[in-house]
Amino acid sequence: MQNETKKKLDYVLSVLKIQQIYSNACAVLSFDMETVCPPKGMSNQGETSAYLENESFKLSKDPKYIEAYEYLYNHLDELDEFDKVLVKGLHKSYVQTKNITPEMNLEWSKAFNQSWVNWLNAKEKDDFSIFAPSLSDVREINLKTISLNEERKPISYDNLLDMYETGMTGTDLDRYFNECKERLVPLLKKIMASPKKIRTDFLSRPVTDEQQKAMSEYLLNTIGFDFTRGALGTTEHPFTNGLAKDDIRVTTHYYPTAFLSSMYSVIHEGGHALFEMFQPDENYDHYINGKKTMGMHESTSRFYENRIGRSREFVHLIFPKCKEIFPNVFFDVTEEEFYEAINVVEPSFIRTEADEFTYTFHIIIRYELEKEIINNNAKIEDLPKMWNDKYEEYLGIRPSTYKEGILQDVHWSFGFGYFPTYALGNMYNAMYYNKMLEEIDAPGLVESGNIQKVNDWMTERVWKRADRLEPKDWIKEITGRDFTVKDFLDYLEEKYSKLYNL
């Protein structure tokens, strides 16, 4: 590396270190807002967070800083693999945001924070009108951001999708989701017509928050969550927050008559946390730990939630502890009944509580609505009805409240383009789980409680290079195959045909 290149790199890294401090502070505030902050304090906390985020944004606008990483972009051949990823990312971000001023950024940050507060209030009061103006603001901010991007794609929604899943387009998703509908809609009808009835009465038996916390801690320990580097909290909408290299926090929500909700949200969020905990130290050293896409991340969370968590082997492993912690629930329940209950197929309103099979429809609904909102400028006031109509079309049910309809998810309070990554995550992990089965006895390891060996495989094959590759290249490097929906659909057909004796 030439001396001038080293000087430029050192300077860029020094600025990124300061930005990381701001980022960590904002992450702490965000975690506080979503867990323990009193309602009347949220707006003030949001303003503080917006200010700090904007101070970091101002650093990114410093001409000396821009000149330094643009110099590095023109001397990529002198950089190592990690720094090449960093500099390419900085250049891409520069092109996308060069026309966004700090004043715009501060205004938008405040708007997003207020949107979250308004969503929370709207959901609590079951009143869409409280959130509707913010939803309109969010759309306008997204569209303005796209218009200022000098490398914008011709279709508006593709620009938002690219923010979360680089290289994916609406054309790709239309093809993938059409395949899902072609195979899953007929299968859902067969499942609903099956004479087999799965017992679920015990799932609504009352439990205490203390019991659920004990189960949550047990499950996190079981999948390999490191409590010396992570913490567990509670919130309205479960999430994972990677505050820093050694500070990964997960959250859940305890319902007195729905203990399964907490169990599987904890496993899901624990999967996100493992991705952060087991990535290479070099990712943090070179400030590329946030380069992985949301589809990659959701592939991991839903891998642990579903492919591991809802498997017969995992049920066999945790069933004794379930009986120990929830004796008033499992006193008359067999292991097989528990396995069937956690895999029951039942169209429902709430995405985060949806069964594994119907979950994909929840994502398709949101994706189709997002395209209408962004590409066709759908009227905000029409969205609740459009939402309800699609639930009736795909799942045969119609929400009767905003809480169980359009207000159930937090994501639209800060933008569009995220939801498809949940479905893509399922499709990615179906591919790499099949590859895993070729190399290790994953079911046997899970059943014996040796999930660390599964984590070792994930670390080496799935997580290690995720920050350095784009999604389609990443999945091909793992599996040796181009991306396909087939593995996921084959898995669902095989599993649920057996479960329902089809």
Mean pLDDT of 53-61: 92
- Tell me the C-alpha distance between 345 and 140, whole Å: 38
pTM greater than the 0.95 cutoff:
no
Output DSSP code: residue 62.
Answer: -
Across all residues in the chain, what is the average pLDDT?
Answer: 95
In this model, does residue 57 exceed pLDDT 80?
Answer: yes
pLDDT band of residue 353 (cuts 50, 70, 90) is confident
The string of pLDDT tens digits covering residues 33-52 is 889 989 889 888 888 998 99
**Residues 55, 102, 140, 93: is their CA dihedral positive or negative?**
negative
Determine which of 234-238, 255-259, 265-269, 385-389 has the lowest per-residue pLDDT on average: 234-238
pLDDT of residue 155: 87
pLDDT of residue 40: 87
pLDDT of residue 236: 81
**All domains of the chain, ordered by start, with CATH?**
3-152 (no CATH), 170-499 (1.10.1370.30)
Cβ-count burial 326-357 (b if 16+ within 10 Å, e if not): beebbeebebebbbbbbbbbebbbebebbbbb
- Helices 209-223 and 312-325, packing angle to 10 deg: 140
229 C-beta neighbours (distance < 10 Å), count: 15
The string of pLDDT tens digits covering residues 233-254 is 999 888 999 888 899 999 999 9
Helix (H) or strand (E) holding 249: strand 247-252
Cβ-count burial 476-497 (b if 16+ within 10 Å, e if not): eebbeeebbbebbbebbeebbe
Does the active-site annotation cover 269?
Answer: yes
Mean pLDDT of 46-60: 91
Query: Phi/psi at 232 (nearest 5 deg)?
Result: -120, 130
pLDDT band of residue 328 (cuts 50, 70, 90) is very high
- Tell me the C-alpha distance between 399 and 136, whole Å: 22
In this model, does residue 1 exceed pLDDT 80?
Answer: no
Helices (H) then strands (E): counts for the chain: 22, 3
pLDDT band of residue 335 (cuts 50, 70, 90) is very high
Amino acid, res. 5: T
pLDDT band of residue 409 (cuts 50, 70, 90) is very high
Structure tokens at 412: 């639209």
Pick the catalytic residue from 269, 276, 305, 356.
Answer: 269
The string of pLDDT tens digits covering residues 420-451 is 999 999 999 999 999 999 999 999 999 999 99
Q: What percent of the chain has pLDDT over 70?
A: 100
The dihedral over CA atoms of 64, 70, 72, 73, expressed in degrees to the nearest 10, equals 170
pLDDT of residue 244: 87
Determine which of 153-162, 171-180, 215-224 has the lowest per-residue pLDDT on average: 153-162
Rounded (5°) CA angle 454-338-350: 85
Rounded (5°) CA angle 176-300-281: 130
pLDDT of residue 194: 96
The string of pLDDT tens digits covering residues 93-151 is 999 899 999 999 999 989 998 999 999 999 999 999 999 999 999 999 999 999 999 88
C-alpha distances in angstroms, 264 versus 50, 295, 338? Answer: 32, 19, 14
Mean pLDDT of 217-235: 96
Q: Which ranges in 376-441 belong to alpha helices (H)?
A: 383-395, 420-439
Count how many Cα atoms sit within 13 Å of the Cα of residue 470 in the half-sphere of its side chain.
11
